[in-house]
């Protein structure tokens, strides 16, 4: 998920550095400088939840191992040939690019949605960290189907964690960056260690035994959606949909010398979204064999997914530290970025004030375990809502000459709201959300059709309104 080092380019709005102008040649970076950024970026708190949740969905070995290879490759290709390609041509932040196309008032709505969704994501990571902090206090861990807080200990730990994380985020981008720079290598090392120890605990000594851990799959745990091969492929492709096809990472790759810097995202996908997800899944595979987990299953209940105890079982106190840091490195910059989105709506408030506001919302969200326990569904919803705005940018960039429409029309015509964008997004969102709910279609399956329809309708409406 999107976290701290990646924000180096995206959050320059806080200092006004190239906020409303193309990045100059003197500030451009080579593709190698993006590798470490993405590797550290995507091995963090979300990975401790997502790996185990695949197992609760009953995936098979083939579905998980091969499906993740293909899905993450599609994500890398999206970054390389869409996001990075457009970014190096225009060298503008996502927000300024959207403002030129959509108009300031419509971008305000985007910022509100973006800020709230960021708060919910940060809240789920506070939940992850709380499962580690609660171990010394023998705190009951939230169950997979829990929605409400399960006790006063949980409430106190989440509030204290949320307060600390929010205060650090409010101290500014430099503090957030420094904190994550030394945490990221520790977290990656912890994932590797957890995976190795879990394999030993499972008695794995060959690839065939490793493959047999998932076997041909199983029925999903009570209350969970069954994941097939295509669920894994499509979900992992669009787990960061808002960042690549949604164009959020225009703000990152505008600093790249060449579009080939987009290939650097492979470091994040195959260190974080492959190695770390599988390592976290192995931790849960060990836990499922425990008497406690078997008792839950015998009673027809889903065993809890608690990253803290799972990591502690594998690598001891280092595991507790790693889970706390992993949740921290996700929540910190996410709260900071949510604060910036809110500041665009409430410009009279200081950065500190809006960051504390975002932290408060995230902490309240963290009290409710459902945001973390339903992370697969939440991430799918996040991408589905925001990605179509990227289609507007992509279709205009690649096809405006063929369609004979004016680029950056809101800026040219002085519009506050570009109706072509509003109607295209509303129709595509409404239609495919209805299909998802009414026909019980997994939301990630309709993300790409919604994106394509939004882009096409934007071109049609733009042709109509510009001619009118």
> Could you read off the pLDDT of 268-318 as tens digits, one per residue?
899 889 999 999 999 999 999 889 888 888 888 888 888 889 999 999 999
DSSP of 289-356: TSHHHHHHHHTT-PPP--HHHHHHHHHTHHHHHHHHHHHHHHHHHHHHHHHHHHHHH-TTS-HHHHHH
**39: helix, strand or coil:** helix
**29: helix, strand or coil:** strand
Which residues fall within 8 angstroms of residue 290, CB to CB, at 6 or more apart? none
Burial class (CB in 10 A: 0-12, 13-18, 19+), 349: middle
Tokens of 392: 């507007």
Tokens of 445: 């399956």
Neighbours of 405 (CB within 10 A): 22
Kindly list the domain boundaries of the chain, sorted by start residue: 7-379
Nearest-angstrom CA–CA distance, 303 and 236: 24
Domain 7-379 fold is Hydantoin permease (1.10.4160)
Tokens of 346: 């409430």
pLDDT at 398: 95
pTM, entire model: 0.88
Tokens of 21: 């102008």
Which residues fall within 8 angstroms of residue 411, CB to CB, at 6 or more apart? 99, 100, 101
Q: Which segments of the chain have a pLDDT < 50?
A: 1-16
pLDDT at 168: 80
Tokens of 104: 């300031």
Nearest-angstrom CA–CA distance, 311 and 196: 12
Any idea which residue has 């409400």 for tokens? 148
Neighbours of 135 (CB within 10 A): 18
Nearest-angstrom CA–CA distance, 199 and 192: 11
Any idea which residue has 């708060």 for tokens? 119
DSSP conformation class of 261? G
The 3-class SS string of 68-111 reads HHHHHHHHHHHHHHHHHHHHHHHCCCHHHHHHHHHCHHHHHHHH
Q: What DSSP element (H or E) covers 231?
A: helix 229-238
């Amino acid at each position: 998920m999107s976290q701290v080092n990646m924000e180096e380019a995206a959050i320059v709005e806080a200092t006004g550095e190239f906020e409303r102008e193309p990045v100059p040649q003197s500030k451009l970076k080579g593709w190698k400088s993006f590798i470490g950024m993405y590797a550290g970026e995507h091995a963090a708190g979300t990975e401790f939840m997502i790996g185990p949740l695949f197992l609760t969905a009953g995936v098979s070995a083939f579905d998980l191992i091969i499906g993740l290879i293909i899905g993450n490759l599609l994500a890398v290709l999206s970054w390389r040939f869409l996001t990075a390609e457009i970014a190096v041509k225009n060298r503008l932040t996502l927000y300024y690019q959207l403002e030129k196309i959509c108009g300031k008032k419509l971008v305000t709505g985007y910022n509100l949605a973006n800020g709230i969704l960021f708060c919910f994501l940060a809240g789920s990571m506070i939940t992850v960290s709380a499962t580690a902090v609660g171990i010394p206090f023998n705190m009951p861990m939230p169950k997979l189907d829990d929605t409400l807080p399960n006790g006063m200990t949980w409430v106190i730990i989440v509030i204290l964690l949320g307060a600390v994380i929010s205060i650090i985020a409010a101290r500014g981008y430099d503090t957030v960056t420094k904190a994550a720079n030394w945490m990221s290598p520790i977290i990656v090392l912890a994932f590797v260690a957890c995976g190795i120890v879990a394999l030993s605990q499972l008695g794995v000594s060959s690839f065939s035994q490793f493959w047999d851990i998932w076997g041909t799959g199983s029925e999903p745990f009570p209350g969970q959606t069954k994941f097939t091969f295509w669920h894994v492929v499509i979900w992992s492709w669009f787990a960061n949909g808002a960042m690549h096809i949604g164009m959020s990472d225009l703000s990152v790759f505008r600093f790249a010398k060449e579009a080939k810097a987009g290939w650097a995202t492979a470091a994040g996908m195959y260190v974080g979204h492959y190695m770390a997800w599988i390592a976290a899944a192995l931790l849960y595979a060990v836990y499922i064999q425990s008497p406690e987990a078997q008792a839950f299953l015998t009673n027809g209940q889903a065993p809890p997914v608690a990253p803290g105890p799972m990591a502690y079982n594998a690598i001891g106190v280092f595991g507790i530290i790693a889970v706390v840091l992993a949740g921290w490195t996700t929540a910190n910059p996410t709260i900071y970025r949510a604060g910036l989105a809110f500041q665009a709506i409430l410009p009279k408030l200081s950065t500190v004030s809006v960051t504390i506001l975002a932290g408060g919302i995230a902490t309240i969200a963290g009290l409710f375990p459902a945001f973390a326990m339903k992370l697969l569904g939440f991430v799918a919803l996040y991408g589905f809502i925001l990605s179509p705005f990227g289609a507007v940018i992509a279709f205009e960039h690649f096809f405006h000459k063929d369609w004979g429409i004016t680029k950056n029309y809101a800026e040219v015509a002085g519009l506050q709201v570009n109706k072509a964008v509003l109607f295209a997004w509303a129709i595509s969102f409404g239609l495919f959300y209805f299909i998802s709910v009414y026909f019980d279609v997994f939301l990630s399956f309709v993300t790409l059709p919604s994106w394509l329809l939004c882009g096409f309708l934007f071109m049609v409406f733009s042709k109509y309104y510009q001619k009118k």
